[in-house]
Structure 1
C-alpha cells in the first residue's frame, strides 16, 4: 500500500511549487516508508509514498505512460492499493498489444486506464484509491474501490483542487486552514466515531465515496457512481448457497495471499479470523510455502478482569490457543498494558487526523506496530459481521425496531454531553435523524419481500454503508501508520454482492448469527470453533485503564484553557466520571465503547483540538 496526494491549480505555475508538493507528500511517509516520488507540470503536481509489496525493485511512482503515437498523450498515475486480478488483466492487455516493463500491478492499472479510460474501474478486483492525470486534456480522474477499503480525501476550490490519502496531506498546504464548522462538529459529537459517507470532517474537505469516480478539469468537477448494491431474487437453497459462499471465499483468500513480501494472518480464535487462517494454511500446504504466521492481541491481566455480557460473551485467549495449535501456525501472541494504551491514544489521533475509537484504535495501532516487525502484509476478518449479520443488533428486537443507527442508541447521553450553546447550534437529535433517514432512503428494495426480509435488508444496508466504513477506516489508518498493509477478504465485491441477496432465513441458517457462513465452513474448522458465540475485537477490562483515562480527563477539564470547555457540558461529564458505575453502562457506540472509551474519546478530542490548532468556524 501507499500514500498519494496531488494539487491541480489553473492560476499558479506548479513547477515552482516543488517544496509544497514535497511537504504534502512527506506527511504520508508512514504509509509508504520505502520510497518517495513527485511529478510536476504547470497545472498538476503529484506525490507518492511507496510501501513495496509487489515487484519491490520496480514500480516507482508517480508512474508515467509516455505518448507512443500522434494520437495518444502522457498519463501519470499515483495509486494506493492492490489488484487481486492483476494477472488476468495483464494477459488481457498483452493480448491487445501492450508490453510491460515491470511485474507490479501499478503498471497494470495504468495501462488499463490507457486502454479503457474511466470504465477500467469496472474490471478491477481489489482495494484501491488512485488518480490519473492526462496531460493533453488537462484532466484528473480519481476512483475508489467499491467498499471503500482505501481512503481518498479531496478539497475543491475555485480554480484549485487538492487530494490525498489522508487529510494531513491537504492540511500541509500553506493556504489550507485547519478549520471545522458546525457540521463537522456534529459528525464528531453526534455520529462519531462513525462518519457520514463522503464527509471529510474538516471544513470544505470531502471523502470520495466508495464505488465512486471523480473527474476534474477546467470545466469543474463531476462525481459519478460506478458500483452499488442491487437487490435481486435469490434462487439457491441452503446447501447451494453455502457451497457458493465457500467457493467465493476460498478464491478471494487465495488471490489475496499473493505477495513478494512476508504475509501473515490476524487470529482472534473467532469464526472470521479462524476461517481465513485455515484457508491460508490449506493454500500454503498446496503451494509448499511453509507454515503460516499468526498474530493475536490481548491485555495484561485481562483474564482476571473479564466479565461476560451480551456484547462480549467470552474471552479470546483459549480459542486462539485452540486454533493455532489445530492449524500448526507459527503464532505470535502480543500483550499490552494500561500505560501503553493510554500513551497511544495520541498516536491514534495523528494516524486518523481526527478522534476515533479511543483505545480500540490505540490498541490496533500498537498491535500493527508489533506485527510490522515480522511481516509487511496481514490478512484480517473485517466486514464478515456486516455482510453476514453477525452483530448483536441484527438479533435484538430493540435495535431492530429503533429508528436510528443500532450501534448508536445512546442518543440522549450524547446530547447531554454538549454545552447548551453547541447543542442549540448542532440540534443533535435532528442531525442524527436526518442522517438516518438519508441512509434508509438509499436502501435498494425488492418487490415482493415481506416485512421481516425488508427489515433485515435495511439493517444489512446500514451496516455495510455506515458501520463497516468506520472499521475499514480504522484498520487502514492504524495499520498504514506503521507501514503495514492489511487485506480484508470479506470485502471482495463478488462475495458482498452475492451475500447481499441471501434471504435472512438462509443467512441465519440454524438460527445462529452468520449461520450460512458457518455452514459453508463445515469441514474447514473444528465444530467448537465453528459454532463459538461471536466476540468482538478485544478491549482491555483492566480497571486501571478506567482510572487512568478518568483522571486525565478530569485534569484536562480543570484547565481553564481546555479547548473542549466551550463545546461540552463539563458538569455532566464530571458527574459521569465520578460515579461508581462509570464503566458499566451500555456502549454509547458499537459493541465496545462504554464509559472508559467515552472518557478516552474526549481526551482524544482535547488533544486533536490542541495539536492541530483547530479553528472553529461556527
Structure 2
C-alpha cells in the first residue's frame, strides 16, 4: 500500500510550485507512512508516500535519465508477477538492478510503451512521465482494486491515489455535480470512473490514460471475453483450486507478519486456509493471524435475516482452530462505531457508509497493530454467485438492478425542481441499460445462462466497486495493505464462463465449496451465506433517524432545498415506526436507508463542498 500524486501543466512552470507538490504528497501520508519522495520538473511533478510492505522496498518516484530527458514513475500497490516480468524484461535486453516494483514497471515501459500494463498481474495504480515525448501515462489494475483519480483542466491534469491529493491543489474546487445525486445517495449505481464531484474522475479499471498537450486519450487493455466452457465439473473445481493456490501464494509476499480477515464463511476461510498451508509448505517460521468482528449488542439485538442468518464469531473461531491460525475477535460497541465515523469520512474524501465503514475501520486498526499486509475473501460472492438474488428468478427477470430491491430510494425524495432536472427513475434505467449494452455476449447461449451472465456482470460493476472501495479506503488510511485474491483477473476470466448450473451445483457457491472441500471445516462447509455484519442496535438506529430528521428540516443545513421536506419526513417516520415492508438493498435494516443522507450532509459540510 502507498499513495501517489502528480501534476502535469504545459502552460506553467511547476518548478515554482514545490510547496503545492509537497502538500499534495503529504495528503497521502496515512497511506504510506514509511517514506516520502517527490520529483519536480518544469512541466511535470510526481509525489509518493510509501508503505514498506514488500520484501524489495524501493525509493519513489523512480527516475531514469535518457539523454537530456527523464522518465519518472510512481506506483501505488503491488505487482504479483514480478519474477516472471523481470525475466521477460531481461530476456528482451532490459537491465534490472534491484527487481523492485517501480524499476520493473519503468523498464517494462521503456521496452513496450503503454502495452507494458498488459503483462502486469497485480493491484495497482501508476503514473509514468516520459520527458522524451512529454507524455503522461496513468494505469489502473483490471478490477480496480487500487484507486487512481484525476482532474483535467485547460493545459493540465492533477492525479492522485485518493481525492485528498487533488483537493490539496488550489486549482481544484470541490463542487457536487447535482446530476450525480442518485449516485451520491446510492453508490452502487455508479458507472466505472464516476464520482459525485464535478470534473473528478477515476481511471476506469482495466484502462490506461495518456495525457499530452493534445489532450487525454483512453485505452481499455482488459475486458471479459465470453466463450464456451468445455471442462467437466471436477476439472473446473480442480482448476479453480490450482488458481487460488497460486494466487494466494503470490499475494503472501510481505516484509513482516501476515494476517487475514476471517468470518468463518466459505470465502474468507478458503483464503486463510490456503495461506496457512502455503506458510507451512514454505517452511516459514510465521503464523497467520486471523481477525473477526462482532458487536457487543449482538446478544440482545441480533435478528437473523436472509442475508445475515447468524453471527460470524463462533464460526470464525471454529475455522481458526481447524486450520491452525492465531485468532482474534474484535468486539465493537455502538459508541466505538460513532467515534471513528469521522475518521472513515477522511479515509474516503467522498460520502461514506457510516457503520459499515466504521466496523471495518476498527477491525483494520486492530490488524495494523500486528501486520502491514492482510488477505480478505471479499469479492467471491460476485464471482461465484453467493447472494440470495442469484436464486430468485422473479427478482432478476425484471429489467432493473436485482440487488436494489423494491424499497424506497432516497433519490426519489428530492425536491420537485431537482427531480425534474435529474429524473432519478430515468437515470437509474439509463445506467442499467448502459451496463446491459456492455455485457460480453456468447452467441448461441441459452436464455437462462445469458441472463445469469448479465446478472453477474451487474454484480461485477457497481456493487463490487463499493466493496473494494470500502476495503481499500479503510485499510489504506491506517497504513495497511489488504489484498483480494478473488480479484485476480485469471480467476475472474475463468469463472466468468462457467455455466450457472455448474457454479451453483450443490447449492450456494457449490463450485467454490467443491474446489476447497479438503480445507473447509464442517461448520463452514454447511453454513449458509452470511454477509459482512452490521450492527443491529436501536441506539444506532435512533441516532440515524435523529440526524436525518435534523438535516431534512434545518433550513441552515447545506442540503437545504435538495429534498422534498414533507416526503422525506414521511419516509423518516415510516423508518422510525419500522413500517417499510419492501426488500432493501444490501439486506440491511430500515434505518440504514438513511446512512447515505447523513453521510452526504456531513461530507458536504466537512469538506466545504459547494452545490451546483
Which TM-score band applies after superposition, normalised by the shorter structure? Answer: over 0.9
Q: What is the match of residue 182 of structure 2?
A: 186
Q: Is the 8 A contact 1:280 1:292 kept in 2?
A: yes
The alignment status of 1:596 with 2:591, answered yes or no, reads yes
Q: Kindly indicate whether the alpha-carbon contact (under 8 Å) linking 1:54 and 1:103 is maintained by their aligned counterparts in 2.
A: no
Any unmatched runs of 5+ in structure 2? Answer: none
Bigger mean CA deviation after superposition, 454-463 or 546-555: 546-555
Q: Tell whether the 8 Å contact from 1:351 to 1:477 is kept in structure 2 after alignment.
A: yes
Are 1:397 and 2:421 an aligned pair? no
- For residue 353 of structure 2, what is the aligned residue in structure 1? 357
**Residues 40-94 of structure 1, C-alpha deviations (whole Å, 9 max, x = no match):** 11111111111111246x4111111222xx5x95310011111111011122223
Q: Is the 8 A contact 2:353 2:599 kept in 1?
A: no
Distance in 1 of aligned mates of 2:223 and 2:321: 41
Q: Which residue of structure 2 aligns with residue 262 of structure 1?
A: 257
The answer as to whether partners of 1:153 and 1:200 remain within 8 angstroms in 2 is no
Whether the 8 Å contact between 1:381 and 1:488 is mirrored in structure 2 is yes
The separation in 2 between residues aligned to 1:600 and 1:454, in whole angstroms, is 35
Distance 1:411 1:420, change over 3 A: farther
SS in 2 for 1:170: helix
**Which of 582, 601, 607 is equivalent to 2:602?**
607
1:343 aligned counterpart, secondary structure: helix
In the alignment, the residues of structure 1 paired with residue 299 and residue 407 of structure 2 have an alpha-carbon distance, to the nearest angstrom, of: 32
The partner residue of 1:84 within 80, 96, 101 is 80
Matched, 1:127 2:123: yes
Instruction: Provide the residue aligned with 1:448 in structure 2.
Output: 444
Please give the alpha-carbon distance, in whole angstroms, between the structure 2 residues aligned to 1:361 and 1:513: 26
Alpha carbons 1:587, 1:595 under 8 Å: kept: no
Contact 2:347–2:473 under 8 Å retained in 1: yes
Q: Is the 8 A contact 1:55 1:102 kept in 2?
A: no
Post-superposition offset of 1:558:
4.6
1:439–1:462 Cα contact (<8 Å) kept = yes
Contact 2:251–2:485 at 8 Å: present in 1 too?
yes
**What is the distance in 2 between the residues matched to 1:180 and 1:601?**
15
Q: Give me the whole-angstrom Cα distance separating, in 2, the residues matched to 1:51 and 1:587.
A: 42
Give 1:465's aligned residue.
Answer: 461
Work out the CA distance in 2 between the residues paired with 1:428 and 1:411.
Answer: 15
Q: Which residue of 2 aligns with 1:15?
A: 15
TM-score computed with the length of structure 1 as normaliser:
0.95
Q: Distance in 2 between matches of 1:44 and 1:323?
A: 51
Show the counterpart of 1:286. Answer: 281
Q: CA RMSD in A?
A: 1.8
Q: CA deviation at 1:362?
A: 1.7
Cα deviation for residue 301 of structure 1 reads: 2.0
In structure 2, the partner of 1:250 is: 245
Give 1:551 shift. 2.4
CA offset digits 1:533-561 (Å, max 9, x no partner): 10000111122211222223334445331
State the distance in 1 between where 2:569 and 2:366 align. 36
- Establish whether residue 24 from structure 1 lines up as the match of residue 24 from structure 2: yes
State yes or no: 1:426 paired with 2:422.
Answer: yes
* 1:483 corresponds to: 479
* 1-structure distance, mates of 2:309, 2:456: 22
Greater mean deviation of Cα atoms: 236-245 or 94-103: 94-103
Cα deviation for residue 215 of structure 1 reads: 0.5
- For 2:515, the equivalent position in structure 1 comes to 520
Please say which of residues 445-454 and 284-293 is displaced more in the overlay. 284-293
The structural deviation recorded for 1:112 is: 1.3
Tell me what 1:337 maps to. 333
Contact 1:131–1:143 (Cα < 8 Å) also in 2 = yes
> 2:271 is matched with which residue?
276
How far has the Cα of 1:599 moved from its partner? 2.5
In 2, the alpha carbon distance for the partners of 1:193 and 1:374 equals: 33
Residue 236 of structure 1 pairs with residue 231 of structure 2: yes
**1:169 matches 2:168:** no
Q: CA deviation at 1:578?
A: 3.6
Question: What is the match of residue 308 of structure 1?
Answer: 304
User: What is the TM-score when the length of structure 2 is the normalising length?
Assistant: 0.96
8 Å CA contact 2:294, 2:311 repeated in 1: no
SS across alignment from 2:6 = strand
Distance in 1 between residues matched to 2:604 and 2:194, nearest whole Å: 19
Aligned-residue offset at 1:291: 2.1
Point out where structure 1 has 5 or more consecutive residues left out of the alignment.
none
Q: What's the counterpart of residue 190 of structure 2? A: 195
Taking the aligned partners of 1:318 and 1:466, their CA distance within structure 2 comes to: 31
Moved more, 354-363 or 497-506: 354-363
- 1:464 deviates by 1.0
Give the CA deviation at 1:587. 5.6
- How many Å separate the matches in 1 of 2:200 and 2:268? 35
In structure 2, C-alpha distance between the alignment counterparts of 1:52 and 1:99, rounded to whole Å: 24
